[in-house]
Structure 1
């Protein structure tokens, strides 16, 4: 849309200006050619798609728009060739010099000293006339006439009322071009120009959701058939939904008032959704190397147009909302019940006809949405009754030190989606809410609903797969896996705190005990333990099953995956808060280090060695592990973090976090010692936009770290000719870890090769995604570009890379790119650590038992260090254990240290054995997991 500050160039003058520029400017920068080519590619690809759509659904308006669009593409091609683009493609081509200008470089190139060599009056910058000025005069006049704005006819002097003379209009001085941002320059192709631009943006959005949905289908297939942990797929899916949300939001900034899903589809179908028949075929779009103007190649996969544009999911959502509004009691109308009431979860989709599969999915989707709104509404209504529950008042009082985590249950992983849909469903009858349904809502619903458009290629059901498989492994509600399940760890730690509070008089343990109560309640309800909900409020039974009360989860792998993802993140948060608030874990880490350094332990205990490495900066002052002066090292750490300024800063952060719900309240940023964040936690804090994650939190050898390195500008030392990466925070930290400049360059250039090696053929060599149409880079360019090897990755490729990081965090394994594990120096970064996979609460239980064993043995010996700490200090239990640790580290009394060393030697197993998935059989994301490449 043209604004007062927009500077317009008409299509009619574009070719003339290009010829004039080519005549007077010697060398056109390669970045201009690439920019031109990307625009032509984007327009051509969109034109091809709309041609097919127009052929299937004849529409005079669309045909006129396509003709106008084709004329504009022809003008762009002519302007491109006038600037020498054809010669550039034949000689150097897109990989001419490998330069990859960033946005700020391109702005400077285009807008600095712009047109300094040109004067549209035919003069050069030196003030003389060009040799061909007279030959260009007629073209110049035509260009000026085309581009000059029309002036209002001014009334002649003396006309009008007597005594009234028109004021002389002041000349308006045009703003200097140096002050005009790049966004203010627009090419206008006629009266339909803005509409065509909107169609281009819509086409890019449709291509993006098509590519991402296709990739996600493959990921969820791995969950069902290859044992991939559903939390990995849930995190990848959440990132994809956020991508669609951001892309749509960015598009609607330029086209306000067109922010609904219906507006997007209406733009494509010209307001007639019914013409997009379900049996029509549409090519997914041209691939790399196609010119985009030819018909789809023979054998290219055809897709249902309605499926391609997510229209089935959209229509199911609209019909559900309309039906829910009629009764507003959580039950379908009789007419809807007749349509969806016979949903059969055992239907053989391979043998069913396409129409049967679509009806089956529609019944599932609407029934599932009824369950979603009913459960979410029940949770909201339950908030008004929380104060009447037994123990609520006491829990609130004891939780004050934590800033009161949000006590209200949520549907883990989908709470925002559930809130949005519930708010639309509970409006008055016949309220039209279609303008409030956004593209990412429909995309997310499409991902939630099972695929029903693959026909004969549908595989047989996955053997022994259950949507709640990984959720039940994590929770272990029946206590079948000793030391693994989250609920059993909560129960064991609860009993330990209860014992400390009741028998030993440590009332502080009540606060930690009630924090565990909150988290068990939150995670249990959030992952479908509806027995909690039914104690408070009656809700309609699940529409999906007469026998399974938790049909919302039990028939939804997507909900289980995203829910488990959030549960793992919350379990990590609460574990780090507890570790930060009780002294035992800090004490054990320092005692273990002292016993190893002094030789009292023949070899490190693996679990404590791993903890010391993972949380080195938290447990040791300035991240330096002491080799002598062990007591002073711990005392100094306590003193530094306990100073007034540090304490006040933490208090302020906690006060700010209290209004942000459980995730904010339990943020590691409010901790005194342990502030390291898991990979899942980083994504949430960045609102699932990885570009917002600061370099300081990105592991150097992670896939995200490599992407950042690939996008870092490279510089050349004029004296030595050595190539180095510009010194960003990430580069500086990598060098501090001992990573050489040569290794950094190799990591920066590895993205293309890594993509080719990833499972599923998602690499750039096998599939160059078209959702970022302005970035047609090859794998070779990704490895050799001089200013940032990777360029801008497609959304699909970025997800493929981030999945590796997510897998490492959730499952503790996975492939990485070449060069993994080659870091040198203290604290070398070997990629994303498995922070989300460890059952820290069970590790805490083991630590408390170790202290009990030490206390009993030292008490039986009447050890003097023990007596000073426990009988003379007058401290509560936690203080006594802290005092015992400090006394042992300072005095180094032999008997005391011998007892402690003996207790440490009894600890068996590795850190990875404390994983939630450690003893799961292969194929279910445990040890020797078969769900990932080697």
Structure 2
């Protein structure tokens, strides 16, 4: 609107250039006049503008109605004044909408027999087709240039995130009514020309409507209200996930990853509040604002209602309504426990509770029957658990620094220590999965006594602690629903928080071929044997040291910790009366996020080793030749699965050769040998060498062949914000890919009249995988219907060019709950969960395979091939291992090259026998007992039926 009104004024014969807007800010009093000016000179208002107006007005009306209901129950003069101001602003927006022809647009929408063409709307807004009639004064070329720039600015509206300027900047601009006037040249003492303000220099994020002081309060109330609604919604979703873990068998790493994504959503909202309202982003300020400074009086001000959607899909009928439990839904209990812990820890900074608090939290009983306990008893039980667990967390996380002080007498000021993951102590591993949170809490707790911490506690920190606490309570049969209050059910008796961590570790070597720890021991033995054969004791030294160090960290800090055996000068666990390992045993959340990080690291270290040794590449190419030539009738499960998971790593351009196998082998080795690729890889390796943590050291960008990132790694690199994952890294066959493609614009090809896809990185990759534009547009059409369900998933999977069907793995099956797109963060979580499940324990199990054991199997197979050929004194073996000095440097790669080039009959028969006796199955080397292939299992909350979540719940 600002750009358009400026163009009108610039093109007008009237001398009113002083009114041109060069600030990007517009006062409420000017909003309707500007709209009238546009209406007089613009022939066609883009339909998208109407939609934006309608959306904004509806959102503000909903908020206004909510606060009107609040003061109707409990009068509050300040809120009433804010409501009055807000109503005036809504009236201004509504009048502007009317002036621009919004009422006529609504009438046309109602009369239309078919829905409007989404693509035409998008084209209108992206082309910035404000048609200004009867105006001259600009050259056509200049107008086209401006239109292109405005189109670029408009397109930025759809970006993943924007930064909002501070309110101080807004207030400064309010008084500058003549900010847009041109400077007059002085006749005396001419000064250097001062650049005039230009709207071109104003970033899109700085455009805003200037309100009065009441408007500032209204906007902050809206922001706070939105944030609280968001965490109520997300908390319900996260509780559902942990119920699926406890009662439905969902892998805890999935719930841990999804919890991190939800926490990231809260943090994004929190950052937006901080940018727009600096100094008002703490949990304490948020809570004081929404409760008017009195939590007790706020009870009864807020309520939730359940509405049934009628068959017409447009009308709703209220079926249930109840007051919100403010302390529970606004996370007050958890915040108070955190604040009391911080205050108590600061009192002595000894790691021991004060006598006053100890009397409240001692003798916590993990076996308390929560179904029979009163509400007050349950809350006290949860509070005691929370504070005890926080004491253990901080004592473990700070142990390395505390021991340096007490045992080595180093002078370290605890209040000045950088406890973050980028700090100097991060190299000393003490936890897996929760280091960022532990650093935040420890930094608060280690401040000097009586410095408090309430103003420093942020909403995302409280929300994360709530998720941690909820993970335990839901497994013990207690969760919370905004409509039904406290939900009590029998505890999950067969569930253990460490269930999945123990399968991954297999400390007792129960499941041969699956556990990480035993895999490291076995592979290191083969490395030693291989080093002796090549006469180079240092051949695998770096690999062995890295594996051994990672195994050591896993044993000491994943699922268990040294803390349970007692750390010198560190207070014992607060749960010692039941288990010294209570930090892990009583936290499904910690086990989940710890396992999530362990899977990332195990995957990355496995790929690094496979990238640096010849055996994986050699085995896959030999296996493919044996299959293609018919020496192996049914592909061996392990090797066929790896070939399916990493085609681009093993073969040039990911194309599996059916002949000329030696050339394909050479091409695969040479494909990443270009100068540009080498320089890029060297840069990544240099960065890895200077990385401050293990994640940086194991960056797959430094690999030559195995560069594919797991979905877990992608989310970590994006700080668990899905929008930040680059198109070039998104798996083409994923829900996130469907969402990205579905949200793209589909212009019409003027030559064919058909909708086409923009040639983006993701679209090009999808086409390379064999997906056709028609199939992708079909997915997009289903997205625009407003849901992703089995219909969409089947359309997606049916277009897959490569069957993921190998020994021990079933074909993909469609599944998932019907979920709304773009309506709530909780719905987005429900969709993205399917990707995480696929990666961790599902149908594309990149993160569930034990690559250490897999590498050991490669080594075993080559030892057997070598032994057999040596006994036969086969000419190829003699050439590679004895006769040719150059080949002896990399004997296995040389032998492979000879086998692929000669296709020696006798050699092929020997290899075919050894590849199949025994046949290595993929399922033999996954961490879990089975993979998840049931749509019901991956998407169903065991208590969904009890909670009645099928209707629409609103919070007022």
Q: TM-score range by the shorter chain?
A: 0.7 to 0.9
Question: CA shift at 1:12, angstroms?
Answer: 4.1
Q: Is the CA contact 1:473–1:916 (under 8 Å) kept in the aligned structure 2? A: yes
Q: Is the 8 A contact 1:372 1:552 kept in 2?
A: yes
Match of 1:262 in 2: 284
Provide the residue aligned with 1:489 in structure 2.
Answer: 519
Q: How far apart in 2 are the matches of 1:116 and 1:179?
A: 28
Contact residue 30 and residue 96 of structure 1 kept, 8 A: no
Distance 1:314 1:736 in 2: 50
Instruction: Mark the runs of 5 or more structure 1 residues left unpaired by the alignment.
Output: 120-146, 153-164, 388-404, 760-788, 814-832
Partner of residue 118, structure 2: 99
Q: How big is the shift at 1:902?
A: 1.1
Residue 81, structure 1, aligned to residue 81, structure 2: no
Structure 1 residue 715 and structure 2 residue 747: aligned?
yes
Q: Report the secondary structure of 1:727's partner residue.
A: coil
Aligned to 1:732: 764
Does the C-alpha gap of structure 1 residues 628 and 747 become closer, same or farther in structure 2, counting only changes over 3 Å?
A: same
2:877 maps to what in 1? 866
Which runs of structure 2 are paired with 1:132-531 in the superposition (5 Å)? 175=197, 182-270=204-292, 272-276=293-297, 280=300, 282-284=302-304, 297=318, 299-379=320-400, 408-450=428-470, 453-454=480-481, 455=485, 457-501=487-531, 505-507=535-537, 508-531=539-562
Query: What displacement does 1:333 show?
Result: 0.7
Instruction: Look up the SS of the partner of 1:697 in the other structure.
Output: coil
Determine which of 603, 618, 626 is the counterpart of 1:595: 626
Asked if 1:43 is matched to 2:60, the reply is yes
- Secondary structure at the aligned position of 1:216 is classed as helix
- Quick one: distance in 1 between partners of 2:36 and 2:401? 65
The residue that corresponds to 1:807 in the other structure is 837
Residues 301 and 330 (structure 1), Cα distance of their counterparts in 2 relative to 1, 3 Å cut: same
Say if 2:523 and 2:856, in contact at 8 Å, map to a contact too.
yes
In the TM superposition, what is the alpha-carbon distance from 1:287 to its structure 2 partner?
7.2
Once the two structures are TM-superposed, the CA of residue 22 in structure 1 deviates from its matched residue by: 4.1
1:651 shift after superposition: 2.7
How has the CA–CA distance of structure 1 residues 9 and 849 changed in structure 2, closer, same or farther, with 3 Å as cutoff?
closer
2:825 corresponds to: 795
After superposing the two structures, state which structure 1 stretch, 884-893 or 663-672, moved more.
884-893
Q: Kindly tell me: are residues 534 and 514 of structure 1, through their superposed partners in 2, closer, same or farther at Cα, counting changes over 3 Å?
A: farther
Aligned pairs (5 A) from 1:845-864: 845-864=856-875
SS of equivalent to 1:575: helix
Taking structure 2 as the reference length, the TM-score comes to 0.78
- 1:622 equivalent to 2:633? Answer no
Whether the 8 Å contact between 1:364 and 1:544 is mirrored in structure 2 is no
Structure 2 gap segments, 5+ residues each: 1-20, 138-173, 180-186, 409-424, 474-478, 792-818, 941-956
State how far apart, in whole Å, the 2-side matches of 1:541 and 1:30 are.
66
Q: 1:173 to 1:642 in 2, by over 3 A?
A: closer
> Which is worse superposed, 624-633 or 372-381?
624-633
Paired position in structure 1 for 2:78: 61
**Secondary structure at the counterpart of residue 552 of structure 1:** helix
Tell whether the 8 Å contact from 1:873 to 1:880 is kept in structure 2 after alignment.
Answer: no
Listed as ranges, the matches of 1:537-686 within 5 Å are: 537=568, 539-639=570-670, 641-642=672-673, 646-658=677-689, 659-686=691-718
Counterpart secondary structure, 1:192: helix
Indicate whether 1:694 and 2:715 are aligned. no
Residues 788-810 of structure 1, C-alpha deviation per residue, up to 9 Å, x if partnerless? x9974632222111111111111
Distance 1:881 1:257 in 2: 63
Give yes or no for contact 2:849–2:925 (8 Å, CA) kept in 1.
Answer: yes
- Determine if the alignment matches structure 1 residue 888 to structure 2 residue 888: no
Partner Cα separation in structure 1 for residue 406 and residue 895 of structure 2: 45
Contact 2:45–2:131 (8 Å) recurs in 1: no
Separation in 2 of the partners of 1:416 and 1:745?
A: 40
**Contact 1:711–1:790, Cα closer than 8 Å, also in 2:** no
Q: Which shows bigger deviation, 460-469 or 691-700?
A: 691-700
Instruction: Kindly state the Cα deviation for residue 712 of structure 1 after the two structures are TM-superposed.
Output: 0.8
Counterpart contact for 1:379–1:409, Cα < 8 Å: no
State how far apart, in whole Å, the 1-side matches of 2:121 and 2:44 are.
20
**What is the CA distance between 1:903 and its match in structure 2?**
0.5
Distance across 2 between alignment mates of 1:649 and 1:184: 37
Determine if contact 2:865/2:914 at 8 Å carries over to the other structure: yes
Cα 1:604–1:299, aligned 2, differ >3 Å: closer, same or farther? closer
Query: Which whole-Å CA distance do the structure 1 matches of 2:188 and 2:822 have between them?
Result: 57
Q: Deviations over 1:268-318 (max 9, x none)?
A: 234x144455x546224797999xxx9995622432112222222222111
Match of 2:140 in 1: none
Instruction: For 1:549 and 1:463, locate their aligned partners in 2 and report how far apart those are by CA, in whole Å.
Output: 21
* Structure 1, 223-232 or 78-87: larger mean CA deviation: 78-87
Q: Does the residue aligned with 1:731 lie in a helix, a strand or coil?
A: helix
- Contact persistence 1:343–1:360 (CA under 8 A): yes
Question: Cα distance, 1:435 vs. partner?
Answer: 2.5
Contact persistence 2:351–2:395 (CA under 8 A): yes
Quick check: 1:15–1:75 contact (8 Å CA) kept in 2? yes
Q: How far off is 1:529 after superposition? A: 2.2
Task: Write the mapping of 1:740-819 to structure 2, written as runs, cut at 5 A.
Answer: 740-751=772-783, 755=787, 757=789, 792=822, 794-813=824-843
What is the Cα deviation at residue 493 of structure 1? Answer: 1.6
Task: Kindly state the Cα deviation for residue 234 of structure 1 after the two structures are TM-superposed.
Answer: 0.9
> For the Cα contact (< 8 Å) 1:383–1:408, is it kept in 2?
no
Aligned equivalents of 2:865 and 2:753: distance in 1?
62
- Gap change, CA 1:571 and 1:615, over 3 Å in 2: same
Partners of 2:916 and 2:785 in 1: CA distance: 45
Distance change in 2, residues 1:238/1:386 (3 Å): farther
**1:662-692: per-residue Cα shift (whole Å, max 9, x none)?**
1111111101211111111111122222222
How many residues end up aligned between the 2 structures?
817
Name whichever of 304-313 and 8-17 sits farther off. 8-17
Assess, with a 3 A threshold, how the Cα gap between structure 1 residues 280 and 343 changes in structure 2: closer, same or farther.
Answer: farther
Alpha-carbon spacing, 1:481–1:116, altered in 2? closer, same or farther (3 Å): farther
RMSD: 3.9
State whether residues 493 and 844 of structure 1, in contact with CA within 8 Å, keep that contact through their aligned partners in structure 2: yes
2:90 is aligned with 1:70: no
Specify whether residues 530 and 177 from structure 1 end up closer, same or farther in structure 2 by C-alpha distance, changes over 3 A only.
closer
Q: How far apart, in 2, do the equivalents of 1:758 and 1:421 lie?
A: 42
Q: Distance in 2 between matches of 1:641 and 1:9?
A: 55
Q: Is the 8 A contact 1:45 1:285 kept in 2?
A: no
Scaled by the length of structure 1, the TM-score of the pair is 0.80
Give the corresponding residue for 1:843: 854
SS in 2 for 1:716: coil
Structure 1 residues 150 and 417 mapped into 2: Cα distance closer, same or farther (>3 Å)?
Answer: closer
How far off its partner does 1:616 sit? Answer: 1.5
Match of 1:696, SS state, is coil
The Cα shift of 1:594 comes to 2.0
Q: Separation in 2 of the partners of 1:629 and 1:186?
A: 64
Q: Distance in 1 between matches of 2:664 and 2:541?
A: 30
SS of 2:82's partner is helix
Q: Please state whether the residue corresponding to 2:128 is helix, strand or coil.
A: helix
C-alpha separation in 2, matches of 1:105 and 1:537: 69
Measure, in 2, the Cα distance between the counterparts of 1:100 and 1:267: 42
What is aligned with 1:899? 910
Aligned 1:104-143 pairs, distance under 5 A: 106=125, 109=128
The residue matched to 1:541 in structure 2 has which SS?
coil
